[in-house]
Amino acid sequence: MTSAPIYLDNHATTRPDPRVLEAMWPYFTTIYGNAASASHRFGWEASEAVEKAREQVAALLGAEDPREIIFTSGASEANNLALKGGLPSLRRKGNHVITSAVEHKSVLGALRRLGQEGWEVTVVPVDEFGQVRVEAVEAAMTERTVLVSVMAANNEVGTINPLGAIGALCRDRGVVLHSDATQAVGKVPLSVVSDGVGLLALTAHKFYGPKGIGALYARRGEPRARLTAQIDGGGHERGLRGGTLAVPLIVGLGAACEIARREGLAEAARVACLRDRLHAGIASRVDTIRLNGHPTERLAGNLNLSFGYVDGEALMMSMREIAVSSGSACTSANPEPSHVLTAMGLDEDLARASLRFGVGRFNTEGEIDAAVEVVATAVARLRAHSAAYGGGVATSVHGERFDEAVQ
Amino acid sequence: MRHIYLDHNATSPLDPAVLDAMRPHLLAAGNAESRHAFGRSARRAVDAARASVASILNADPSEVVFTSGGTEADNLAIFGLAEVGDGPRHVVVSPLEHPAVDAAIDRLQLFRFAVDRPKVGLDGVADPESMVAAMTSKTCLAALMLANNETGAIQPVAKLASLAAAKGVPVHCDAAQAVGRIEVDFRALGVATLAASAHKFQGPAGVGLLLVRRGVRLDPWIVGGGQQRGVRPGTMPVGLIVGLARALEIRHERLIEQAQRWRSLRDRLETLIRARLGTDRVVRHGPTDEALRLPQTLNLAFPGVDGDALLMQLDVAEVAASLGSACASGSTRPSPTLVAMGVPRMLLRSSVRFSLGPEANQDLIDDAGRRIADAVDHVSKFDPDSAAALAST
């Protein structure tokens, strides 16, 4: 390969920030030690570094107490710990859980399993933008409801959910709000306190930290889910998560949080400009496209488009110069159409015609302009072979479903 | 004064060559599940690591499941084999197990599983016959570690697995202290599952593996996307997985030569300490048969000496060692392994574990021997309790 493709898949994973790696490096090389080794300074140094990172994570989330942060191997584990580990303590209050149709598989999967254990799970639909409506959550609530699980921002269409409103509703009802904030942390301002979130899962590699480390925020105040460990052993993390702490990774997560806390707002503005440039560029060159997701309440880096008369998979595979995704990476080997897009009301054809662009910290204007060119060329090439596509005129029934036509 | 790190059984510092192998993957974007060039490159690296690990441990690549570490691997195996959903049954486990296994077994008890922990002898080696004798028609799982983290005693895992197979009971083996230090042959051991952790063999912390014998069905513990065929979902940490494989390759290349070096250094350390203190002031825990000893673990009791005070003194002398499992350090409970072995009470709190790494050499060990003997002398002299205890022995 002559040059690396342009990376526009920052929802799948991000390239670690060099400053994050720099912070981690000493813990890979000179400062070793098991943070649980209480008897020598190697252990103490490791333990100090871990506690500093815990404070950095707490600060980014607006948590009141660093002890509310539990390190895990990532968001899948954090979501499992929150739900399978948190719900049993709420059982005496009720057995009803509310979630949304667009959650990540680690949430839906854990809840499906709990469903087999006598938990009643209501899956509320989302609106056409993929947003969970607070009214829908309220309508689903019963006296038996103990927990609501709603993602902070969607991984496919980037739609940001009204966590604050849902959190206020939950607080009024004494219900715990769990949020898979994997895509939102470091990208949009979050405050677990003012948003009323009781459990929140995150992973470092989605915001320029290392892979293999994440965290669960678990509120110590009421309403509170008291966690049971899902991985037992050794009493690490106050007995809530066994296993030797991966000190360099934890330091990396802390550093990523610190950078996001300082630069997140400015970065979101810059990334949104690039994303809009990408959108405008594609729209000026390609007709019959449709924006999936919320027009405004959307992650700065997210652009999810359906291209009329084109199969998203084929389009993705035909563009070797850019790295994008035709769905979430976790399920990209899965031929099923995206459960997120179908939940938003897209039919299978439209869902299959979609492509997810994830603009991130390291993208440049030049890359965006180059990507526009690649997309325009590839779509034109594929459409040239399409019998249904009538030379740029959306004549078929298929075409009428695209609400965003040529400017 | 240089630091002397003799706590490799707690964690073994990352090999710089391993970090070199990890570096490009730590710098890269790329989710192994993505289908573009970045994703494919990550996938290739993971596949190569899987193949390499499988070949070294004599397993099939499809039998390798990467986890966040040994503890998660142990949990996945135990809960996966126990199939809690099928109702309470019975498990047999050695009383020597690491907290990762023990705590998972304790959790099974909450699900009303019955647990038997047949006694072991003073040498700290489990008896497969008595473990099998404890099995009933309801036994769904047996667990025996390959090498004990505190004494380094190598356990008769293959024997247990073959006896248990006759009863249709799968065996889980926590091999965290053995992998990278002695030959580990998954096929020959005959166990259903085997757990290891990279940071015990100079790989990165935060990654481990579980070998799952083909045909053994594990109920996944973390539920999520379809990664690793659903057995262990979650975005794969490519850099860490590459590091695990590289560390194992490096250790494996030098396995026999390094083990010989370790044995001679380990014995040298013991000899030095005995020579300085007088042999009646030193008791070694664990088996005497060399074939049953990890080459780099030495667990010594100093009668009458308070282990905590000794560790503090060793820390002043820049020697890092431990009382036993780091995972249990800070707790005031005496080591469960030593208790299970029937070590006399007065020795329980006087025992210190020294575990060597590949950087050990004669010079370092001679220096360590001197500092350790000095520290023991110092603590015996200035601790009135120790002195009194010593006088009474």
Q: State ipTM.
A: 0.88
Span B163-219, pLDDT tens digits: 999 999 999 999 999 999 999 999 999 999 999 999 999 999 999 999 999 999 888
Residue B307 to residue B302: CA distance in whole angstroms? 8
pLDDT of residue A192: 97
Out of A33, A231, A248, whose CB is closest to B72? A231
Identify the top-confidence range among A103-107, A349-353, B33-37, B384-388: A103-107
Please check the confidence at residue A165 and state whether its pLDDT lies above 80.
yes
Mean pLDDT of A383-395: 68
Report the gap between the CA of B34 and the closest CA in chain A (Å): 5
What's the token pair of residue B242? Answer: 């590459």
Residue A395 confidence (pLDDT) = 43
**Among A7, A36, A324, whose Cβ lies nearest the Cβ of B329?**
A36
Q: What is the mean pLDDT of residues B20-28?
A: 94
Q: Is the pLDDT of residue A407 over 50?
A: no
Convert A16-41 into a string of H (helix), E (strand) and C (coil).
Answer: CCHHHHHHHHHHHHCCCCCCCCCCCH
**Site from B5, B34, B207 to mutate, A interface, most A CB atoms within 10 angstroms:** B34
Cβ of residue A91 closer than 8 Å to a chain B Cβ: no
Residue the block writes with tokens 């912390």: B205
Confidence of residue A239 (pLDDT cuts 50, 70, 90): confident
Instruction: From chain A, pick out residues whose CB is under 8 angstroms from the CB of B75.
Output: 230-233, 242
A19 touches chain B (CB under 8 A): no
Residue A106 to chain B, least CA–CA distance (Å): 3
pLDDT band for A402, please (50, 70, 90 cuts): low
Chain B contact for A232 (CB, 8 A cutoff): yes
Query: Within 10 A of A188 (CB to CB), how many other CB atoms are there?
Result: 19
The reply to whether domains A6-13+263-405 and A18-260 share a CATH topology is no
Q: Is A112 on the interface with B (CB under 8 A)?
A: yes
Higher pLDDT: A37 or A339? It is: A339
Cβ atoms of residues A211 and B235 within 8 Å: yes
Distance CA B380, CA B369 (A): 17
CB contact under 8 A, A76 and B329: no
Evaluate whether A212 touches A72 at the Cβ level (below 8 Å): no
| Residue of chain B whose Cα is closest to the Cα of A110 | B223
Residues of B taking part in catalysis:
327
Residue B119 parent element (H or E): none
- Closest by Cα among B326, B345, B335, B387 to B9: B326
Query: Do residues B202 and B246 make contact, with C-beta atoms less than 8 angstroms apart?
Result: no
Partner-chain contact B326 A37, CB within 8 Å: yes
CB contact under 8 A, B224 and A330: yes
The residues of A that are catalytic are 330
Mutate which: B8, B67, B71, vs A, most A CBs within 10 A: B71
pLDDT at A2 over 80: no
The size of the A-B interface in CB pairs under 8 A is 273
Query: Residue B297 contacts by C-beta under 8 Å, 6 or more apart in sequence?
Result: B9, B147, B150, B151, B152, B177, B266, B286, B353, B354, B355, B356
Q: CATH homologous superfamily of domain A6-13+263-405?
A: Aspartate Aminotransferase, domain 1 (3.90.1150.10)
The pLDDT of residue A41 is: 77
If 0-12 CB within 10 Å is exposed, 13-18 middle and 19+ buried, where does residue B333 land?
A: exposed
Residue B302, Ramachandran bin (φ over 0: left; ψ between -120 and 50: alpha; else beta): beta
In chain B, residues with a C-beta closer than 8 Å to the C-beta of A334 are 226
Beta bridge partners of B300: B284, B352
Q: Tokens standing for B7?
A: 């706590």
Selected residue with higher pLDDT from B303 and A1 = B303
**What are the structure tokens assigned to B124, written together?**
């700290």
What is the token pair recorded at B363? 């010079």
If you average pLDDT over every residue of chain A, what do you get?
91
User: Which of A195-210 are b and which e, b meaning 16 or more Cβ less than 10 Å from the residue's Cβ?
Assistant: bbbbbbbbbbbbbbbb
* A38, A242, A334 member nearest B329 (Cβ): A38
Smallest Cα–Cα separation from B200: which of B92, B76, B74?
B74
What mean pLDDT, rounded, does chain B reach? 92
Contact B326 A16 (CB under 8 A): no
Contact B317, B375 (CB under 8 A): yes
Tokens 């652009």 appear where? A303
Q: How many alpha carbons lie under 13 Å from residue B383 in its C-beta half-sphere?
A: 20
The A residues from 355 to 384 touching B (CB cutoff 8 Å) are none
Closest CA to B265 of B367, B356, B331, B196: B356
Of B19, B223, B236, the CB nearest to A29: B19
Distance separating alpha carbons of residues B288 and B339, to the nearest angstrom: 19
* Cα–Cα distance list, A314 to A283, A324, A402, B282 (Å): 20, 12, 19, 72
User: Could you tell me which of B267, B294, B287, B285 has the C-alpha nearest to residue B335?
Assistant: B285
Measure the CA–CA gap between A158 and A276, rounded to whole angstroms.
14
Q: Please, which contacts does B332-335 make with residues 24 or more away whose CB atoms are closer than 8 Å?
A: B335/B150
Looking at chain A, the whole-number percentage of residues with pLDDT higher than 90 is: 76
Identify the three-state secondary structure at position A11: coil
Helix ranges (H only) for A104-154 are 105-115, 134-140
Q: Which of A10, A72, A234 sits opposite B100 (nearest CB)?
A: A234
Task: Provide, for chain A, the percentages of residues in helix, strand and coil under a 3-state DSSP scheme, each rounded to the nearest 5.
Answer: 40, 15, 45
The kind and range of the H/E element at B220 are none
pLDDT at A337 over 50: yes
Which tokens in the block code for residue B116?
């038997």
- Residue-range domain boundaries for chain A: 6-13+263-405, 18-260
- Distance (Å, whole) CA B393 – CA B280: 10
Give A175 to chain B, closest Cα distance, Å. Answer: 24
Tokens matching residue A103: 């959650």
Q: Is the predicted pLDDT of residue A1 greater than 50, yes or no?
A: no
Question: Which residues are within 8 A (CB) of B362 and not within 5 positions of it... i.e. 6 or more apart?
Answer: B265, B268
Residue B35: the pLDDT is 86
Q: Taken in order B126, B132, B136, B137, is the CA torsion positive or negative? A: positive
pLDDT tens digit sequence for B325-357:
554 445 557 888 999 999 998 898 899 999 999
Report, as an integer, the average pLDDT of B74-91.
90
Which chain A positions have a beta carbon within 8 Å of B30's beta carbon?
13
Binned at pLDDT 50, 70 and 90, residue A405 comes out as very low
- Least confident range of A113-117, A247-251, B20-24, B262-266: A113-117
Interchain proximity B38–A233, CB inside 8 Å:
no
pLDDT of residue B324: 63
Residue A62: the pLDDT is 97
pLDDT, mean of residues B119-124: 95
**Hey, are the CB atoms on B225 and A29 less than 8 Å from each other?**
no
For residue B355, report the phi and psi dihedrals to the nearest 5 degrees. Answer: -130, 125
Max avg pLDDT among A386-400, B52-66, B300-314: B52-66
- CA gap A344, A354 in Å, rounded: 13
Among B89, B92, B62, B245, smallest CA distance to B172 is for B92
Across the range A80-88, mean pLDDT stands at: 95
Pairwise CA distance, residues B364 & A154, whole Å: 55
Round to whole Å and give the CA distance between A231 and A241: 5
CB B104 within 8 A of CB A232: yes
DSSP B13: P
Residues 6+ apart with CB under 8 A from A154: A102, A130, A161, A183, A293, A340
Report whether A106 contacts A75 (CB < 8 A). yes
Q: Over 70: is that where the pLDDT of A331 sits? A: no
* Residues of A whose CB is below 8 A from B72: 73, 231, 243
Alpha-carbon distance B195 to nearest alpha carbon in chain A (angstroms): 13
3-state secondary structure of A230: coil
Residue A96 and residue A146 in contact, taking contact as beta carbons nearer than 8 Å:
yes
Contact B237 A212 (CB under 8 A): yes
Strands A120-124 and A96-100: parallel
B50 three-class SS: helix
* Tokens describing residue B251: 């250790």
Total residues found in chain A within this entry: 407
Predicted confidence at residue A103, as pLDDT, reads: 95
| Helix (H) / strand (E) containing A54 | helix A41-61
- Residues A43, B10: C-beta atoms closer than 8 Å: yes
Which of these CATH numbers, 3.40.50.2300, 1.10.10.10, 3.40.640.10, 2.60.40.10, describes A18-260? 3.40.640.10
Three-state secondary structure call for residue A9: strand
Residues 310-329 in A contacting B (C-alpha not used; CB under 8 Å): 316-317, 320, 322-325, 328-329
Q: Which residues pair with B5 in a beta bridge?
A: B320
Interchain contact, B71 vs A205, CB within 8 Å: no
C-alpha to C-alpha distance for B71 and B100, rounded to whole angstroms = 5
Which pLDDT band, with edges at 50, 70 and 90, does A398 fall under? very low
pLDDT at A161 over 60: yes
Per DSSP, helices labelled H in chain B are 16-27, 37-56, 70-82, 99-110, 128-133, 157-166, 186-189, 238-253, 255-277, 307-316, 336-341, 345-348, 362-382, 384-392
pLDDT (tens digit per residue) in A267-326: 999 999 999 999 999 999 999 999 999 999 999 999 999 999 988 888 988 999 999 998
